[in-house]
Amino acid sequence: MEDVICTFCGSVCDDGEFDAEKKKVKKFCRLGSAKFSEKERIKAPMVDGKEVSYETAIEKAAEILVNAKKPLLYGWASTANEAIRLGVILAEKLRGVYDQCASVCHAPGTLAVIEEGLPGATLGSVKNRADVVVFWGSNPAEAHPRHGMRYSISAKGLLIKDRKQRKVVVFDVRPTKTAKMADLFIQVKPGYDYAVISALRAILSGNADVVPSEVGGVAKEKLLQLAEMMKNAKYGAIFYGLGVTQSRGRDRNVENAIKLIQLLNRTTRWIIWPMRGHYNVVGAGEVPAWEVGYQYAIDFSRGYPRFSPAEFSAVEVLKRKDCDAALIVASDPAAHFPAAAVKHLKQIPVIQIDPFPNMTTLLAKVVIPSAVYGIEAEGTAYRMDGIPLRVKKILETSYWTDEKILEEILKRVEKLKG
Amino acid sequence: MIVIKPKKYFEVCIEAELTPELATKSMEEVKKFKVYYGNRVVELGELFEVTKTGDEKKLVLEGDFSRVKWIGARMADGEIIVKGSVGANCGAFMKGGRIVIEGNADDWLGIEMSGGEIIVKGNAANLVGCAYYGDAVGMTAGKILIEGNAGNYIGEKMNGGEIVIKGNAGDFVGTEMRAGVIEIHGSCGFVGGDMRGGEIRIKGKFELLPTFRKTEKGWVGDVNVKGEGVVKSL
Amino acid sequence: MLWIKNGIVIDPKNKIKAEKMDIFVKNGKIVPEGEVKREECRVIDASGKLVVAGGVDMHAHIAGSKINTGRTMRPEEMRVVRNVAGKFRAAVGRVLLTAPAIGYEYAKMGYTTSFEAAQPPIGALHTHEELDAIPMIDKAALPVFGNWHLVFKCIEEKNLEKLKTLIAWAIERSKGFGVKVVNPGGVEAWMYGGNVKSLDDQVPGFNVTPREIITMLIKANEELGLPHSVHLHCNNLGVPGNFQTTIESIKLAKGFSNSKRQVLHVTHVQFNAYAGSSWRDAASGAAEIAKVVNSMDNVTIDMGQPIFGHATAMTGDAPFQFTLHKLTGARWSNKDTEVETGAGIVPLVYLPNNPVHALQWAIGLELGLLVDSNKVALTTDYPNGGPFTEYPYVMAMLMSRKMREGELSKVNAYVQKATGLASIDVEKTLYEIINMTRSLPARILGLQNKGHLGIGADADIAIYNLNPLETDTSKDFEKVYKAFKSAEYTIKSGEIISRNGEIVKEVFGRTFWVDARKKVDMEAVMNDIRDYFQYYSVQLGNYGVEERWIKKPERLEVV
């Protein structure tokens, strides 16, 4: 099958070729290929470690969720929009909390969008037009292996016919694999991105004299050189990653970078965009935005949505012991969350919906295995730049989809609540 | 004066918009005051022991209130004493009166405060005296005093009032500040980003952004917003 | 089955001017009395009440990527709680609303159809997901063509057949409804940091001008015989002096004719009706535009009325949005979209004391008053001008000079010299206003079964607590406003969904899309498309929306 869409990282490459006999996919990178090859699966639904039917597991899950005073529904970044929508509606019905993976990755970007807006573009615009591309705190060579060849580094387009017509800059705390592919590498002292961006803004707005001889480990000359390159670009793009969102400064780093982009757009064209990790983390934020007004950290205790990352991000909710049950969909908080949060997760009943076993499976009271979107189930996902793609069903399965499982849970919940 | 004590361990956080106004009500009304226990609406009397002594407009919260949020929200007068730590959003949108926290405070202390006084004997967390998500202006008047340390995001978008931190603070002190005074007796991180006005005084070490001009007044900036804010040593 | 008894019906399409009439509904349609059994009918006593078709909003931004980015940017908008979750969904929003809120608010007001005004073709699936999430109303989306490279290429080659085929292909792939054009050529110019300033500016990188884009799209649209005409957001939006460009653009319709409807619909004209040379001497060009529109029989417009209070500017006119950001210093979002289009978002507030805002407000009203009622539809270009929930304000203002006088006394006096609003005596009648909000928008869109109460029409009906025979709409504007704010009954496809401003039943409407493939030979353009797809970042095989992905699609075939 052709035009197969990868459901691993935010690049969501859609040029895969699936060999039905060998059950392997061609053209995808090693990360995508791994997703499309045979993997260990959760065999059957389980309650307290015992195999049960889907119906029984769903019944138990609904019971736990309805009895909770504050259920946390978390994950969502690796499932399709159809399932996410049901998750949001379920959280609203249960008057619990909806949060998604972005809260530990790119949420700072969302906070920055709230402060300043998002001057962006789709990946095709970058491929066609960008003569300067900056990777800030992002290492696509390792995390988004085909991003460069499809969209941002060696990708050729309407105006950029040759790699030499594009300058690639890497801004990071250490020379990364991507830095080796770049035309310019600037090393910044960890925790000083914010200061460096402020300095660049000052230089570009005619206040270079105020900037000291060195900012965040970067010499002023280097900053002047970078500023000049940015000013002279015809169409520039900053792609930023967790190096910026999960280090000192977080949302203020991104906000500052956006202000830099606003300034640059007065004389030339620049865009900025986050390098989203999971293939549908964008959907995990867009779906709740249209359903209830916010992208993450949403509390429904009062029967209407309230947004407060400092209080309702999954990690915050767990750290404050502010939830008494959890539904984890397509995610592994037990492996990724800080110890204090995982400690509380171990104390409460956890329901997991996932195709694959992980650390969270070990502490889940109810485990419901599901089909893999993009392989065993069809659904809508949004690429890192928001472009919607319909991932395909290429193999048959007897596993239920996340959508079906959540639909059934919702029905039981509605019945229990009367 | 009303004394409120938790009756038991709370399985999830409580949201209780308790203000000194409550002390003017009868015991019946106080016990029936609605609070949120997760998604359950519950009467105050179910979760807390309540005793009344006299008619002073004062609430004394005794015990661990670290998971009780929104204490003192929108209060206009009177006094709240927390003999312990307090949860998030304490003193949010406060207009007047006084809150004393003997323990620590959680995030979002004194959101968009427009009058009154908050004193924290212990430490505060992040987002002290800031503007709430998406709002344009933060604290406009009043005073917040923290005897211990504070976290990140202090006095963002401040347009008046005073914040004093006797200990250390984290990053992003006075971001987008327009007026008011922030005083830090210890050390802190990034100071004055996109500052337009107001004054920040720091005794210890701090990291001024590379966008300030040195003058006799102190450091003036942020030049990126043609700001006239002043950052100086205390 | 429904029997709406003794109501006073106004149905401009069928020339019914406030007549006492019974309406019968069966299987979601309006039927003759003979087709129902009176005993089996649910009876609605509409004595002394106004009965009209459900409102048709022909231009609103209700679904898609830019609407959602607008929501994400503005959490402060989402703190207004309109409905606590219970029997129905939670609904929040001040001017920007969540999908459930959009459906509920239209329903409460007696509106039953709304069209998303600008859909980026590559993002069509997102638009449809959001449309599907909106309850109550019937809906559709208009894909944008004015800055699409594929369109430019057909026009460069002067190949009308290819252009027609491209349009048919694009509308099918996006499951869209018609041809929307936004700042033709200007958004492509923005990719280089610029804009177009006149109809004859050359679009950078292509041998085409806005004039050619508009004219050829009209030609292609008319030869295809699509239900809706070209729907144009003119160049130079928001620029003082732009009324000239608007008039020039309107005149491009000369030479075309269509017996069923207009050949060109120009949208939110208020934003394109400024005289003067800068914001210091800006004035109204509404009268000049009204004169031209009234003199032509093949052009329609809609108002784009600003409402004082919060709003959010969101359009495909990316360069304009950046200009607005520079002017106001407000937050700004932008989305350059592959080789198709762009978008921009900037929050704003219209203040009555601000001379520019007052001017804009006055101009919108001037257009509504001066243009013939069968040529101007009522809109606020939601959320650019303001909330659609304030359509009743606009309706009442157009019918009452007294109300306008009261409002004029509260706004900046600049409008006294910069516009003619204060001296306009016109008071539109209720019949005309119902036309401007029902029959006319339905006709403009080419929706045969909407906007009227004739036999065979969809049973989308609104009953208002207003007796047209006893109400002086010139004097009783408060009553008029209140009545239209919440319908006493809103009926959708024969089901009562709202009563006195309260939702009583949640239903989901249909998504209309137009299939014109039989009118063309698809192969005429496929090679060009395949070739140009090298400049896209998705595969051609993954481009487009399949009908089965939409919950309740309704295909309108063009034969």
Q: How confident is the model at residue C296 (pLDDT cuts 50, 70, 90)?
A: very high
For A40-105+279-417, which CATH class?
alpha beta
pLDDT at A376: 96
* Chain B residue numbers touching A307 (CB-CB < 8 A): 133
- Whether residue C147 lies within 8 A of chain A, CB to CB, comes out as no
Q: How confident is the model at residue C514 (pLDDT cuts 50, 70, 90)?
A: very high
pLDDT in tens, C183-197: 999 999 999 999 999
| CATH code for the domain of C77 | 3.20.20.140
Q: Which long-range contacts (CB under 8 A, 24 or more apart) does A353-356 make?
A: A353/A327, A353/A328, A353/A329, A353/A402, A353/A405, A353/A406, A354/A42, A354/A328, A354/A329, A354/A330, A355/A41, A355/A42, A355/A399, A356/A39, A356/A40, A356/A41, A356/A42
CA angle in degrees (0–180, nearest 5) for A175-A179-A185? 80
- The yes-or-no verdict on residue B88 having pLDDT over 90 is yes
If asked whether residues C320 and C204 sit together in one domain, one would say: yes
What percentage of residues in chain A have a pLDDT greater than 70? Answer: 100
Q: How confident is the model at residue A418 (pLDDT cuts 50, 70, 90)?
A: confident
Instruction: Say yes or no for a CB contact (<8 Å) between B135 and C76.
Output: yes
Instruction: Say yes or no for a CB contact (<8 Å) between C74 and B135.
Output: no
With CA atoms as reference, the chain C residue closest to B132 would be C76
The two tokens of residue A317 are 């909710």
Q: How confident is the model at residue B153 (pLDDT cuts 50, 70, 90)?
A: very high
pLDDT at A336: 95
Query: Does residue C247 form part of some domain?
Result: yes
If asked whether residues C45 and C59 sit together in one domain, one would say: no
- The yes-or-no verdict on residue C85 having pLDDT over 90 is yes
In chain A, which among 182-211 make CB contacts under 8 A with chain B? Answer: 194-195, 198-199, 201-202, 205, 207, 210-211
Q: How confident is the model at residue A195 (pLDDT cuts 50, 70, 90)?
A: very high
Amino acid identity for residue C468 in this structure: P
If asked whether residues C474 and C415 sit together in one domain, one would say: no
Averaged pLDDT of chain C: 97
Query: DSSP states of C84-97 as a string?
Result: -SSSS--EEBSSSB
pLDDT in tens, B99-147: 999 999 999 999 999 999 999 999 999 999 999 999 999 999 999 999 9
The two tokens of residue B146 are 């923290």
- The yes-or-no verdict on residue A22 having pLDDT over 90 is no
> Quick check: helix, strand or coil at residue B195?
coil
Beta strands in A199-247 (DSSP E): 214-215, 218-219, 235-240
- Interface probe for C, chosen from B41, B133, B176, B224 (most Cβ of C below 10 Å), is B133
Q: How confident is the model at residue A38 (pLDDT cuts 50, 70, 90)?
A: confident
* Chain B residue numbers touching C77 (CB-CB < 8 A): 134
Query: Does residue C425 form part of some domain?
Result: yes
With CA atoms as reference, the chain A residue closest to B134 would be A114
Query: Does residue C544 form part of some domain?
Result: no
C13 φ, ψ to 5°? -60, -40
Q: How confident is the model at residue C290 (pLDDT cuts 50, 70, 90)?
A: very high
Residue ranges covered by each domain of chain A:
40-105+279-417, 107-274
pLDDT at C159: 97
Q: How confident is the model at residue A201 (pLDDT cuts 50, 70, 90)?
A: very high
Give the mean pLDDT of C506-530. 97
If asked whether residues C257 and C381 sit together in one domain, one would say: yes
pLDDT at A233: 98
| Cα(C538)–Cα(C533) distance, integer angstroms | 8
If asked whether residues C30 and C61 sit together in one domain, one would say: no
Using CB atoms, which residue from A265, A292, A387 is nearest to C90?
Answer: A292
* Chain A residue numbers touching B15 (CB-CB < 8 A): 301
The two tokens of residue A34 are 């791994």
- The yes-or-no verdict on residue C280 having pLDDT over 90 is yes
Q: How confident is the model at residue C25 (pLDDT cuts 50, 70, 90)?
A: very high
If asked whether residues C246 and C363 sit together in one domain, one would say: yes
Q: Tell me how close the Cα of B135 comes to any Cα of chain C, in angstroms.
A: 7
- The yes-or-no verdict on residue B55 having pLDDT over 90 is no
Burial of residue C548 (CB within 10 Å: 0-12, 13-18, 19+) is exposed
Tokens 């940015």 belong to A230
Q: How confident is the model at residue C282 (pLDDT cuts 50, 70, 90)?
A: very high
Query: Does residue C542 form part of some domain?
Result: no
If asked whether residues C36 and C119 sit together in one domain, one would say: no
Using CB atoms, which residue from B39, B69, B190 is nearest to A70?
Answer: B39
Using CB atoms, which residue from B11, B175, B207 is nearest to A252?
Answer: B175
Q: How many CB pairs under 8 A join A and C?
A: 180
* Chain B residue numbers touching A320 (CB-CB < 8 A): 13, 67
If asked whether residues C189 and C269 sit together in one domain, one would say: yes
- The yes-or-no verdict on residue C503 having pLDDT over 90 is yes
Here the ipTM equals 0.97
Q: Tell me how close the Cα of B82 comes to any Cα of chain C, in angstroms.
A: 29
pLDDT at A240: 97
Give the mean pLDDT of A388-402. 97
Q: Are C548 and C132 in contact (CB under 8 A)?
A: no
The chains found to touch B (3+ Cβ pairs under 8 angstroms) are A, C
**Beta-carbon contacts of residue A348 (< 8 Å; ≥ 6 apart):** A323, A324, A325, A326
> Could you tell me the residue range of the domain that residue C476 belongs to?
2-52+452-503
If asked whether residues C230 and C324 sit together in one domain, one would say: yes
* Chain C residue numbers touching B111 (CB-CB < 8 A): none
- The yes-or-no verdict on residue A242 having pLDDT over 90 is yes
With CA atoms as reference, the chain C residue closest to A309 would be C75
Query: Does residue C556 form part of some domain?
Result: no
| Cα(C386)–Cα(C370) distance, integer angstroms | 21
| Cα(A240)–Cα(A235) distance, integer angstroms | 17
Give the mean pLDDT of C485-490. 98
Give the mean pLDDT of B16-45. 96
**Beta-carbon contacts of residue A350 (< 8 Å; ≥ 6 apart):** A325, A326, A327, A328, A360, A363, A364, A365, A366
- The yes-or-no verdict on residue C113 having pLDDT over 90 is yes
Q: Tell me how close the Cα of B4 comes to any Cα of chain C, in angstroms.
A: 30
pLDDT in tens, C234-277: 999 999 999 999 999 999 999 999 999 999 999 999 999 999 99
Give the mean pLDDT of C445-455. 98
If asked whether residues C9 and C141 sit together in one domain, one would say: no
pLDDT at A303: 97
With CA atoms as reference, the chain C residue closest to A113 would be C73
Give the mean pLDDT of A241-254. 94
- Whether residue C90 lies within 8 A of chain A, CB to CB, comes out as yes
- Reported pTM: 0.97
pLDDT in tens, A122-148: 999 999 999 999 999 999 999 999 999
pLDDT at A380: 98
CATH number of A107-274: 3.30.1280.10, 3.90.245.10, 3.40.50.150, 3.40.228.10? 3.40.228.10
In chain C, which among 17-76 make CB contacts under 8 A with chain B? Answer: 74-76
| Cα(A195)–Cα(B206) distance, integer angstroms | 13
- The yes-or-no verdict on residue A299 having pLDDT over 90 is yes
In 3D space, the residue among A44, A94, A61 whose CA is nearest the CA of residue A303 turns out to be A94
Instruction: Say yes or no for a CB contact (<8 Å) between A322 and B88.
Output: no
CA angle in degrees (0–180, nearest 5) for C318-C59-A389? 60
- Whether residue C116 lies within 8 A of chain A, CB to CB, comes out as no
Query: Does residue C406 form part of some domain?
Result: yes
Q: Tell me how close the Cα of C349 comes to any Cα of chain B, in angstroms.
A: 13
If asked whether residues C68 and C99 sit together in one domain, one would say: yes
If asked whether residues C41 and C161 sit together in one domain, one would say: no
Query: Does residue C511 form part of some domain?
Result: no
In 3D space, the residue among C464, C448, C460 whose CA is nearest the CA of residue C494 turns out to be C460
- The yes-or-no verdict on residue A305 having pLDDT over 90 is yes
Q: Are C119 and C144 in contact (CB under 8 A)?
A: yes
Q: Tell me how close the Cα of B49 comes to any Cα of chain C, in angstroms.
A: 31
| CATH code for the domain of C485 | 2.30.40.10
Query: Does residue C527 form part of some domain?
Result: no
